[in-house]
């Protein structure tokens, strides 16, 4: 069952008497011609704007972000090495070379290439060939790897998404996502694999392969806000005739990270202009106010049958309340969790959410992590836990 506990946190504004100053919130206005658009403040969980957020559509090459998540998860769990070498087989080359398979990092049949280089090609230049070589190298076929992608999507809570290819190539409508799911994917990738995100998602250009005249092939990153918006550092564009021009992007400025989706645009320019405008609006019309510093303990949760009766919940990053510029209201804060937790509990596991509700605005949710390990207990531990719950000692 879920349990909620009220928390006492510093309030952003008070009157002379010391009571909270309540003022009605006025949401900043934003209008767009984009059929699908969504903007989230990652630290607070606040949705700043949404239009068609749950509409399912073809993601085109934005599907490669899921491929990247799966590969990074394998690397960080020790099941795959960045230095592992995969060979480009003839079948994969014939299917995905530049003349047949759209965007490419110009891999050659028989070429041996590292996972590290393939990830760079996957994200920086949207290599369809890179996605396929990763899939085949990891699981023996694209089809088996796609099963892995869909399993991961379910684990991440992407309830509206299904993948049919590792690269988003048109597949008769099998691959579908929603903006809300893409935001979830980007949020989890940045939180769960920060090292991989920093390593692969903001490379300005990629040099790989040689042209027929022997000169190196250099391709720029296709991210339309990279270098144009302060703090922009990811994620991925997409385009097919079915999907239109799409973009999943993120930027971090003064400690605040925003994630956006725009989809269904009718030109590359329209996609770039809308992404830049929406991201600037998010930073300029809204502000984040820090409520909890990074690594602060927010509360404790009961642990069933553990070697300790409770585990501390902490904020992995500074928790900010996102409000319109000049906001003068107060807020309520609660910690929500499914309690008691079942042992074992691993340090760093998500165990709760901090729910902050500013006056006149929707609730904002930030995940809280276990601050320490709690192992399975023996009979004595369970007896001691029961005594603790009865007495508080």
Q: What is the pLDDT of residues 70-104, one digit of tens each?
A: 999 999 999 999 999 999 999 999 999 877 768 99
Distance CA 358, CA 72 (A): 36
57 band by pLDDT with thresholds 50, 70 and 90: very high
CA 265/CA 52 separation, integer angstroms: 13
Label residue 32 by pLDDT band (50, 70, 90).
very high
Report the mean per-residue pLDDT for the chain: 89
CB contact burial 9-46 (16+ within 10 A = b; e otherwise): bebbbeeeeeebeeeeeeeeeeeeebebbbbbbbbbbb
Percent of the chain whose pLDDT exceeds 90: 75
Q: Which residues are paired to 331 by β-bridges?
A: 358
Q: Taking a C-beta distance cutoff of 8 angstroms, is the pair 22, 39 a contact?
A: no
Contacts of 186 (CB under 8 A, 6+ apart): 65, 234, 235, 248, 250, 259
pLDDT at residue 386 greater than cutoff 70? no
Confidence of residue 378 (pLDDT cuts 50, 70, 90): low
Determine the pLDDT at residue 108: 95
Distance, in Å, from the CA atom of 289 to the CA atom of 14, rounded to the nearest integer, reads 14
Q: Which residues pair with 292 in a beta bridge?
A: 319
Whether residue 384 is predicted with pLDDT greater than 90 in this model: the reply is no
* pLDDT above 50 for 18: no
Q: Quote the pLDDT of residue 168.
A: 94
CA dihedral 169, 113, 79, 237 (to 10 degrees): -30
The candidate with the shortest Cα–Cα distance to 116, out of 68, 61, 64, is 68
* pLDDT band at residue 379 using 50, 70 and 90 as cut-offs: low
Q: Are 232 and 221 in contact (CB under 8 A)?
A: no
- Please, are residues 333 and 354 in contact by the beta-carbon 8 Å criterion? yes
On the 0-12 / 13-18 / 19+ scale of CB atoms within 10 A, 5 is middle
Top pLDDT among 61 and 318 is at: 61
Residues 217 and 211 sit within 8 Å (Cβ to Cβ): yes
- Residues 206-244 have pLDDT tens digits of 999 999 899 999 999 999 999 999 999 999 999 988 789
The residue-averaged pLDDT of 24-49 equals: 91
Residue 339 confidence (pLDDT) above 80: no
What whole-number distance in Å separates Cα of residue 22 and Cα of residue 288? 18
pLDDT at 315 over 80: yes
What pLDDT is stored for residue 14 in this prediction?
32
Contact 187, 179 (CB under 8 A): no
pLDDT of residue 382: 52
> Mean per-residue pLDDT for 302-318?
89
Over 50: is that where the pLDDT of 158 sits?
Answer: yes
Residue 8's pLDDT is 44
Instruction: Note the pLDDT of residue 181.
Output: 98
User: How many other CB atoms sit within 10 Å of the CB of residue 230?
Assistant: 13
Q: What is the average pLDDT across 359-368?
A: 91
21, pLDDT greater than 80: no
Nearest C-alpha neighbor of 106 from the set 133, 84, 129: 129
């Amino acid at each position: 069952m879920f349990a909620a506990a009220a928390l006492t946190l510093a309030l952003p504004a008070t009157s002379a008497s010391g009571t909270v100053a309540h003022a009605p919130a006025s949401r900043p206005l934003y209008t767009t011609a984009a059929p699908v658009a969504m903007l989230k403040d990652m630290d607070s969980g606040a949705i700043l704007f949404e239009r068609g957020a749950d509409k399912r559509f073809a993601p085109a090459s934005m599907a490669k972000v899921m491929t990247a998540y799966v590969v990074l998860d394998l690397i960080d769990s020790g099941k795959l090495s960045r230095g592992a070498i995969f060979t480009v087989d003839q079948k994969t080359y014939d299917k995905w070379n530049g003349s047949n398979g759209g965007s490419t990092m110009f891999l050659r049949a028989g070429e041996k290439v590292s996972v590290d280089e393939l990830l760079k090609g996957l994200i920086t230049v949207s290599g369809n060939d890179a996605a396929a070589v990763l899939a085949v190298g990891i699981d023996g076929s694209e089809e088996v790897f796609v099963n892995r992608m869909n399993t991961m999507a379910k684990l991440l809570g992407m309830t509206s998404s299904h993948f049919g290819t590792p690269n988003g190539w048109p597949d008769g409508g099998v691959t579908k996502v929603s903006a809300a799911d893409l935001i979830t994917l980007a949020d989890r990738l940045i939180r769960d694999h920060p090292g991989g995100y920093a390593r692969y998602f903001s490379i300005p250009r990629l040099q790989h392969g040689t042209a027929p005249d022997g000169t190196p092939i250099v391709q720029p990153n296709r991210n339309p806000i990279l270098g144009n918006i302060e703090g922009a550092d990811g994620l991925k564009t997409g385009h097919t005739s079915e999907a239109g021009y799409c973009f999943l992007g993120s930027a971090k400025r003064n400690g605040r990270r925003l994630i956006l989706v725009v989809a269904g645009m009718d030109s590359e320019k329209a996609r770039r202009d809308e992404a830049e405008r929406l991201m600037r609006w998010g930073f300029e019309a809204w502000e984040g106010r820090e409520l909890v510093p990074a690594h602060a303990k927010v509360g404790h949760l009961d642990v069933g049958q553990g070697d300790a009766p409770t585990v501390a919940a902490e904020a992995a990053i500074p928790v900010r309340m996102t409000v319109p510029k000049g906001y003068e209201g107060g807020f309520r804060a609660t910690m929500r969790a499914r309690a008691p937790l079942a042992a074992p509990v691993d340090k760093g596991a998500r165990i709760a959410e901090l729910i902050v509700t500013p006056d006149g605005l929707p609730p904002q949710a930030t995940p809280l992590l276990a601050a320490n390990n709690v192992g399975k207990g023996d009979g004595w531990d369970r007896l001691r836990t029961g005594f603790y719950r009865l007495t508080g000692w």
